[in-house]
Amino acid sequence: TAVPLAGRIAVVTGASSGIGAASAEKLAALGAHVVLLARRADRLQELAARIEQNGGKALAISVDVTDRAAVQAAADRVAAELGGADLLFNNAGVMLPAPVEELATDQWQLQIDLNITGLMNVIGAFTPQLVKAAADRGVADLINTSSIGAQNIYPNFAVYTATKAYVTHLSRHLRAELGAKNVRVAAIEPGIVGTELQTHVTDEGALAWLAGTRETMEWLTPQDVAETIGFLAALPPRANLQQVTIMPTGQA
Ligand code: NDP
């Protein structure tokens, strides 16, 4: 059987749950040696053990991606132990919707710190490895998790969707910049996926809106998104799917 990602070193952030965990499992099943990054060490260890039981290879590193020095230390460890990453799925994120006049400034800051600053810390620490891998072996991948919120308008989600518009726009520019060095860059923009993301929401109105969407559609599963990540990574090196929107069939 074909092993499309054999020999590849794939770093996944937000790997302790949801889209990141499912995607790490998928990339490992396709043959990549995966590196699992998130804060909850126990969850990462469990996932690494399951991947290895299934014949894959995994390294778990507990890290808070908003801590730039800690992210750099994780990247240095990946370079030392595995020779560097050639695939980065930059996926950790948080969604905390609320009406803007409630001034939930702590929640604004959390979303900006993780979805923008955390994302940049990871790009900063791992891009040199991606560029080196692409020079040595002809291709590397940077895949950032954005959201359909980067395109559409959702009242009460302004700060979150603006962080995701940042991710999509950044990805388009980095694709143009890094493509010349054989590093493919993609943004994945999912609609609603059932994960722990919704469990952090505290705003009553947003919770009611989310519950309402459950009545009218079947949410995506993390595995649906993971399939897409595997597909992107396994394309021939000349082909870069720049932006992928994946929606629940019933979501407008
Ligand atoms: P989850 O809440 O299940 O996953 C979020 C992940 O991010 C967890 O692994 C969490 O692990 C990690 N994380 C959170 N804070 C930090 C931190 N400071 N440092 C390191 N890791 C951190 O949600 P999803 O799987 O849904 O979210 C993944 C991405 O998908 C996010 O960027 C989200 O915005 C995006 N997205 C999700 C959609 C959805 O409907 N679910 C739709 C569109 C986009 P830990 O707590 O262990 O650190």
Q: What is the ipTM of this complex?
A: 0.99
- pLDDT value of position 1: 61
Residue 150: band (very low, low, confident or very high) from pLDDT cuts 50, 70, 90? very high
Is the pLDDT confidence value at 148 over 80? yes
CA of 106 to the centre of ligand 1 (A): 18
71 close to ligand 1 (CB < 6 Angstrom) = no
Give me the residue spans of the domains in the chain.
9-246
Residue 70: band (very low, low, confident or very high) from pLDDT cuts 50, 70, 90? very high
Residue ID of nearest Cα to ligand 1 atom 41: 193
143 close to ligand 1 (CB < 6 Angstrom) = no
Task: Tell me if residue 46 falls in helix, strand or coil.
Answer: helix
CA 165 – CA 150 distance, rounded (Å) = 4
CA of 96 to the centre of ligand 1 (A): 12
159 close to ligand 1 (CB < 6 Angstrom) = no
- pLDDT value of position 119: 99
- pLDDT value of position 24: 99
What pLDDT digit, counting tens, does each position of 101-124 carry? 999 999 999 999 999 999 999 999
Which residue carries 């993390």 as its tokens? Answer: 222
Alpha carbons within 13 angstroms on the beta-carbon side of residue 18 total 21
CA of 1 to the centre of ligand 1 (A): 32
97 close to ligand 1 (CB < 6 Angstrom) = no
Reading across the β-sheet that carries 183-190, which strands appear in turn?
Answer: 57-62, 33-38, 9-13, 87-90, 140-145, 183-190, 243-246
CATH fold of 9-246: Rossmann fold (3.40.50)
CA of 16 to the centre of ligand 1 (A): 8
Tokens, residue 41: 């060490």
Q: Give the residue-averaged pLDDT of 12-32.
A: 98
Which residue carries 């962080």 as its tokens? Answer: 163
What pLDDT digit, counting tens, does each position of 32-66 carry? 999 999 999 999 999 999 999 999 999 999 999 99
CA 236 – CA 177 distance, rounded (Å) = 19
Is the pLDDT confidence value at 2 over 90? no
12 close to ligand 1 (CB < 6 Angstrom) = no
Q: Give the residue-averaged pLDDT of 17-44.
A: 98
Residue ranges of the alpha helices (H) in 83-142?
Answer: 105-111, 119-137
Is the pLDDT confidence value at 96 over 80? yes
- pLDDT value of position 51: 98
Annotated catalytic residues are: 160
- Per the prediction, the chain carries an average pLDDT of 98
String of b and e for 7-34 (b: at least 16 CB within 10 Å)?
A: ebbbbbbbbbbbbbbbbbbbbbbbbbbb
